[in-house]
């Protein structure tokens, strides 16, 4: 029996499949917890403690995403050639190293330049580790439950990601206020070490042997799906970056509640509707949810009071929830199993790119036309994603490069 057959022979019941996925996405949860814990504290440390401007404070955060973007190809190849378990272990080791560097940065705060350099290196290492964790966890999960459960693996990985970020940010602020900034580095080291210890005790999955596509070939094969992901991610990037300023412009209270509503509908949709991708196919689900996201963003653009804005945030979170797994299933289906990790990393590049570009582009729109126009800009991107997904669905239906879900 081949390794693919053995993977597919894993328990098929929904509960049994989920129980085999959860131990793997635990590593994603622990890793993104280490990203979330210092996230809300770092800008204040750079700006207030080290005395640098807001631009430098923002750059210290965003440099991590640059490292993740640049290391995606390496992470994909590592998962395909050395196996997902080793890929996850490398990521968790990077997490622990970044914690050590963060601790050193805190201890060197009196030497501002030294502290900033150590902090930037810590963020770069964390960014490299993020690409290994993201790709390795998904491919490990797929190897445990079979390719028919791709969407469920990707969905649970996303729940772990956004759940950890939502928990980590307020937790980090509380820890910083109670026992100090340096303690965040120790916690990151502890979480990375715990994840590494747990991962060494979990069985690996067989490496799929055979001819592998070049990363360039894989990238261009998943390019249309990645463009759809990038367009759909503009809504998330716009809300995460500008919703608080949007509320402030209208003197509305409780801006954080809109983020909570967004996250709640996001996680709820992933928990309740992940199986729709398996039932209806990724393209159909993507078309419906891009449309939902577009409507939600239009609600935000037209919002005359905070209650209307909350409805928009809820619809946007629900619509964005399954975008990554819906198009991701179709993208991964375009390559052989030997290049699955490369496909996941190439596809994920577009999420990194979108979140990196949305901030400055939306900032320009806000400066020219007001904060509400940011959500119109994102709605137009979601509408373009609907059109692209329809075109991809029609192409796949004609048998032009589409996977079996068509």
**3-state SS class at 82:** coil
Residue bearing tokens 């210092």: 38
- HEC states along 204-272? CCCCCCCCCCCHHHHHHHHHHHHHHHHHHHHHHHHHHHHHHHHHHHCCCCCHHHHHHHHHHHHHHHHHH
Q: Report, in angstroms and rounded to the nearest whole number, the Rg of the chain calculated over CA atoms.
A: 21
Same domain, 303 and 353: yes
Tens digit of each residue's pLDDT, the chain (406 residues): 444 444 444 445 677 888 888 888 899 999 988 988 887 677 778 877 888 776 676 677 777 878 888 888 888 888 878 888 999 999 999 999 999 999 999 999 889 899 999 999 998 999 899 889 988 888 898 888 887 787 788 888 888 887 887 778 778 878 888 888 889 999 999 999 999 999 998 887 777 666 677 878 888 899 999 999 999 988 888 887 677 778 888 888 877 688 778 888 888 888 888 788 888 888 999 999 999 999 999 999 998 888 899 999 999 999 998 898 899 888 888 888 777 778 878 888 888 788 777 767 877 887 888 888 889 999 999 999 999 999 999 987 754 444 434 3
Tokens at residue 399, please? 């048998």
pLDDT tens profile 204-222: 777 766 667 787 888 889 9
In a domain, 62, yes or no: yes
Q: Give the rounded distance of the alpha carbon of 211 from its chain centre.
A: 29
**Within this chain, do residues 155 and 268 fall inside the same structural domain, yes or no?**
no
Task: Pick the last residue of a domain from 158, 175, 200.
Answer: 200
Enumerate residues 6+ apart whose C-beta is below 8 A from 218: 76, 335, 339, 342, 343, 346
Q: Which of 200, 228, 244 is the last residue of a domain?
A: 200
In a domain, 230, yes or no: yes
In angstroms, the CA 80 to CA 101 distance is: 30
User: Do 19 and 160 belong together in one domain?
Assistant: yes
Q: How far is residue 266's CA from residue 115's CA, in Å, rounded to a whole number?
A: 37
In this structure, are 184 and 221 located in the same domain?
A: no
CA 345 to chain centre: 12
> Which one, of 223, 199, 188, 234, lies nearest residue 354 by Cα?
234
CATH code for position 327: 1.20.1250.20
Q: Is residue 402 part of a domain?
A: no
87 is written with which tokens?
């890929």
Half-sphere exposure of 239 (CA within 13 A, CB side): 31
Q: Do the domain assignments include residue 319?
A: yes
Cα–Cα distance between 301 and 295 in angstroms, integer?
10
Q: What is the pLDDT of residues 8-48, one digit of tens each?
A: 444 456 778 888 888 888 999 999 889 888 876 777 788 77
348 assigned to some structural domain: yes
Co-location of 342 and 226 in the same domain: yes
In a domain, 180, yes or no: yes
Helix axes 306-321, 255-273, angle to 10 degrees: 30
Residue ranges making up the domain that contains 228: 215-397
Give a yes or no: residue 161 inside a domain.
yes
Residue at 403 is within a domain: no
133/25 same-domain check: yes
Question: What letter would DSSP give residue 387?
Answer: H
Note whether 101 and 175 are same-domain residues. Answer: yes
Length of the chain, in residues: 406
Whether residue 124 is found in the same domain as residue 158: yes
Whether residue 349 sits in one domain with residue 233: yes
Provide the number of structural domains found in the chain: 2
pTM of the predicted model as reported, rounded to 2 decimal places: 0.74
Q: Which of 149, 170, 200 is the last residue of a domain?
A: 200
Q: How many CB atoms lie within 10 A of CB 128?
A: 23
Together in a domain, 125 and 194: yes
Residues 6+ apart with CB under 8 A from 204: 83, 84, 85, 86, 140
Do 225 and 195 belong together in one domain? no
Distance CA 226, CA 260 (A): 27
Residues 148, 39, single domain; the answer is yes
| Start-end of H helices in 274-371 | 275-280, 282-302, 306-321, 323-332, 340-369
């Amino acid at each position: 029996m081949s390794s693919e057959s053995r993977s597919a022979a894993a328990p098929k019941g929904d509960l049994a499949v989920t129980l085999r996925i959860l131990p793997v996405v635990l590593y994603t949860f622990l890793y993104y917890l280490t990203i979330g814990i210092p996230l809300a504290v770092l800008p204040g440390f750079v700006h207030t403690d080290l005395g640098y401007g807001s631009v430098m404070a923002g750059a210290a955060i965003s440099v991590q995403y640059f490292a993740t973007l640049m290391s995606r190809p390496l992470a994909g190849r590592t998962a395909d050639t050395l196996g997902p378990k080793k890929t996850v272990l490398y990521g968790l080791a990077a997490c622990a190293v970044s914690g050590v560097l963060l601790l050193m940065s805190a201890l060197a705060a009196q030497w501002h330049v030294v502290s900033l350099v150590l902090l930037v290196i810590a963020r770069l290492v964390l960014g490299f580790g993020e690409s290994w964790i993201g790709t390795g966890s998904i491919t490990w999960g797929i190897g445990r439950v079979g390719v028919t459960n791709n969407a469920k693996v990707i969905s649970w990985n996303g729940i772990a990601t956004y759940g950890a970020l939502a928990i980590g940010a307020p937790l980090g602020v509380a820890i910083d206020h109670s026992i100090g900034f340096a303690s965040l580095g120790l916690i990151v080291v502890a979480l990375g070490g715990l994840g590494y210890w747990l991962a060494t005790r979990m069985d690996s999955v067989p490496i799929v042997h055979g001819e592998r596509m070049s990363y360039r070939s894989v990238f261009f094969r998943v390019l249309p799906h990645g463009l759809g992901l990038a367009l759909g991610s503009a809504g998330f990037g716009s809300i995460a970056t500008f919703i608080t300023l949007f509320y402030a412009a209208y003197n509305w209270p409780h801006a954080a509640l809109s983020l909570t509503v967004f996250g709640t509908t996001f996680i709820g949709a992933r928990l309740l509707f992940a199986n729709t991708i398996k039932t209806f196919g990724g393209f159909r689900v993507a078309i419906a949810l891009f449309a939902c996201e577009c409507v939600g963003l239009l609600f935000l653009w037209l919002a005359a009071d905070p209650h209307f804005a909350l409805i928009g945030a809820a619809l946007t979170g629900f619509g964005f929830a399954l975008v990554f797994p819906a198009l991701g299933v179709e993208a991964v289906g375009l390559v052989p199993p030997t290049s699955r990790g490369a496909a996941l990393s190439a596809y994920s590049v577009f999420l990194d790119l979108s979140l990196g570009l949305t901030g400055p582009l939306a900032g320009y729109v806000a400066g020219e036309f007001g904060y509400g126009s940011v959500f119109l800009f994102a709605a137009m991107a979601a509408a373009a994603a609907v059109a692209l997904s329809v075109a991809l669905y029609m192409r796949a239906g004609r048998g032009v490069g589409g996977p079996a879900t068509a």
